[in-house]
C-alpha cells in the first residue's frame, strides 16, 4: 500500500472530491492534514493543525504519519508549503522552486520571456516613483497586483492618479513587500489548461471568459461566463495554444495540471500571458473539463499527481459553458426570478447547477451566488443558452447599492476567494 497525505483546510466541497479520488486509486492509504477535521471520514487517519499554510506545522504533522510516499494538495495557496514539506522529508514531487517560479508573478514573467513567450509589460514597484515611471512608459490604465495570489481579488485596476494614490495606500509597496505593475490588456481573456507528465503536455484545453475576470470584479452587477468551445483548431486560438504549451514546457512542472490565463486582441493577435498556476482550474473549469470529455476530472488529477499517469485518449465530445449568477445590490439574497423558466426551457442542456440560496449574504467574488453549467455538442447552442440565462435569471438583494470597495477585496482576500457554495462546508 502507498501512504498518501492530502492537505486541505477542510474536507468539504472540491477538497472532498479530490480526496475521494485519491482514496479510490489502487493501493492507496489516504491520510489528511487539515485545520478542521470534521467530515474527514475519507481518511484512514488525520492530523489537525492550526494553520495548514505554515510549512513547519505541516512538517511536524507529516512526520507523525511517516513513512509516506506522497503528499499533495489541490489548493493554490498550499502548493508551496506542501512542496517545502516534501523537500524536508525527502518525499518525491514538485519542488518549492518550481512552485515559486510559477506562482510568483515576477518570476513567472521572467521565465516565460526567456523562453520567447509573450507577456505584457510590467515593472516591480517598491515606491510611488516606480509606479509613476512605469506609467510614463505605458500610460493608463495599469494593474497593481501582489506577487502571489489567485482569482484577481487582490488585483487593482488603476485608471487615474487618484486611483494610484488609493491603491498604493492600500498595498504599501516596499523593498520588503514589492508589488507588480502590469500594463492592462484590452481584448479577449481566455485560459489554457494542460495535463502534463514529465514536463510534457499530454492534453490541452481552452476556455474563454466573458467579460474578463478583472472587468467582472470591477462591475459586480454583471453575470460572468466562461465557455469551453468544442472546436480548438480554430485559427484564432493557434498562437495562444502554441505559446501556452511552450510556456508549460519552460516551467518544467513535472507531473501536474496547469492553468494559464492570457489575452488576444479583437483581430486575433496574441497579447500575452498574465498568470499561471499548478493545480486543477477553479471557477468550475475543472468540472467543465469532465463534462466536455465525459471523464472524471478528479480521478484524472489524482492519477497524474500520485500515479504519474494520464489515461488517454480523451475525445472532446461537447462544448460546455458556465454562467455565474450575480446581480446589482448587496446584503442578503432576497429573491431569484427565472429559475423555473430556465429549468423548463433548458433542462435537457443543464448538467450542473447551484442555485442562489435565499437569505445568504451576497458573494463578492466574480463566481457569484450560484452557477449553471450547460452542455451541447455545438458551441453556438451553448452560447445562446448562456445568453438566455443571463437575460432571464435576476437576483434581488436586500440592499440596492453595491458596496464592495477595493479595501474589502484586498483586505479580505482569503475569505472572498471562497465560492459561495463552498462557504460553511456546503457541497
The pLDDT assigned to 291 comes to 98
Q: What pLDDT, on the 0 to 100 scale, is given for residue 234?
A: 81
Just give the CATH number of 188-405.
3.30.470.20
User: By C-alpha distance, which of 110, 99, 74, 148 is closest to 254?
Assistant: 99
Q: What is the pLDDT of residue 405?
A: 65
How far apart CA 310 and CA 254 sit, in angstroms, is 13
pLDDT at 233: 84
> How far is the C-alpha of 235 from the C-alpha of 265, rounded, in Å?
14
The series of mean pLDDT values per 10 residues for the chain, 427 residues long, is 96 94 98 89 96 97 97 95 98 96 93 96 95 96 83 79 91 92 94 97 97 87 94 89 96 96 89 94 94 97 97 95 94 95 96 95 88 97 97 94 64 55 51
Q: Give the end-to-end CA distance of the chain in Å, rounded to a whole number.
A: 30
pLDDT value of residue 220: 81
The predicted structure's pLDDT at residue 416: 45
Buried b vs exposed e over 381-404: b needs ≥16 C-beta within 10 Å? Answer: bbbbbbebbbeebebebeeeebeb
On the question of a cis peptide bond just before residue 67, with omega within 30 degrees of 0, the verdict is yes
What residue ranges in 237-318 does DSSP mark as E strands? 256-264, 270-277
Q: Would you state the pLDDT for residue 40?
A: 82
Domain spanning 2-93, CATH class: alpha beta
Q: What is the pLDDT of residue 400?
A: 86
Residue indicated by cell numbers 463566481 = 367
Q: What is the pLDDT of residue 148?
A: 74
Homologous superfamily of the 121-183 domain (CATH):
ATP-grasp fold, A domain (3.30.1490.20)
User: Domain ranges in the chain?
Assistant: 2-93, 121-183, 188-405
The Cα-based distances of 340 to 35, 63, 344, 389, 394 in angstroms read: 39, 53, 6, 11, 12
* ω into 121 cis (within 30 of 0): no
Amino acid at each position: 500500500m502507498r501512504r498518501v497525505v492530502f492537505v486541505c483546510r477542510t474536507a468539504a466541497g472540491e477538497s472532498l472530491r479530490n480526496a475521494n479520488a485519491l482514496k479510490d486509486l489502487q493501493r492507496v492509504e489516504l491520510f489528511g492534514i487539515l485545520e478542521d477535521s470534521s467530515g474527514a471520514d475519507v481518511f484512514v487517519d488525520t492530523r489537525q493543525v492550526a494553520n495548514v499554510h505554515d510549512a513547519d506545522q505541516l512538517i511536524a504533522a507529516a512526520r507523525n504519519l511517516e513513512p509516506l510516499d506522497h503528499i499533495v494538495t489541490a489548493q493554490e495557496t498550499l502548493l508551496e508549503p506542501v512542496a517545502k514539506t516534501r523537500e524536508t522529508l525527502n518525499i518525491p514531487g514538485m519542488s518549492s522552486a518550481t512552485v515559486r517560479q510559477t506562482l510568483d508573478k515576477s518570476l513567472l514573467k521572467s521565465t516565460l520571456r526567456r523562453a520567447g513567450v509573450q507577456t505584457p509589460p510590467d515593472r516591480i514597484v517598491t515606491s510611488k516613483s516606480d509606479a509613476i515611471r512605469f506609467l510614463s512608459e505605458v500610460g493608463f490604465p495599469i494593474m497593481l497586483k501582489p506577487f502571489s495570489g489567485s482569482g484577481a481579488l487582490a488585483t487593482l485596476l488603476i485608471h487615474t492618479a487618484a486611483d494610484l494614490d488609493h491603491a498604493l495606500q492600500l498595498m504599501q509597496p516596499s523593498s520588503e513587500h514589492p508589488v507588480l505593475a502590469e500594463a492592462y490588456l484590452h481584448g479577449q481573456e481566455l485560459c489554457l489548461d494542460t495535463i502534463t507528465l514529465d514536463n510534457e503536455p499530454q492534453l490541452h484545453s481552452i476556455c474563454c471568459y466573458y467579460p474578463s475576470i478583472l472587468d467582472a470584479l470591477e462591475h459586480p452587477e454583471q453575470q460572468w461566463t466562461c465557455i469551453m468551445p468544442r472546436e480548438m483548431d480554430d485559427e484564432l486560438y493557434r498562437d495562444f495554444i502554441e505559446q501556452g504549451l511552450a510556456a508549460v514546457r519552460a516551467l518544467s512542472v513535472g507531473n501536474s495540471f496547469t492553468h494559464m490565463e492570457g489575452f488576444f486582441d479583437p483581430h486575433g493577435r496574441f497579447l500575452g500571458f498574465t498568470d499561471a498556476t499548478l493545480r486543477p482550474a477553479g471557477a468550475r473549469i475543472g468540472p467543465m473539463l469532465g463534462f466536455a470529455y465525459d471523464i472524471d476530472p478528479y480521478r484524472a488529477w489524482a492519477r497524474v499527481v500520485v500515479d504519474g499517469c494520464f489515461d488517454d485518449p480523451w475525445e472532446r465530445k461537447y462544448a460546455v459553458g458556465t454562467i455565474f449568477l450575480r446581480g446589482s445590490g448587496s446584503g442578503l439574497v432576497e429573491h431569484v426570478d427565472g429559475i423555473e423558466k430556465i429549468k423548463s426551457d433548458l433542462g435537457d442542456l443543464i448538467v450542473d447547477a447551484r442555485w442562489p440560496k435565499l437569505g445568504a449574504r451576497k458573494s463578492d467574488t466574480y463566481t457569484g451566488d450560484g452557477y449553471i453549467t450547460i452542455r451541447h455538442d455545438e458551441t453556438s447552442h451553448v452560447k445562446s443558452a448562456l445568453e438566455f440565462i443571463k437575460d432571464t435569471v435576476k437576483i434581488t438583494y436586500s440592499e440596492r447599492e453595491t458596496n464592495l470597495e477595493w479595501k474589502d477585496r484586498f483586505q479580505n482576500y482569503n475569505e472572498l476567494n471562497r465560492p459561495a457554495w463552498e462557504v460553511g462546508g456546503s457541497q
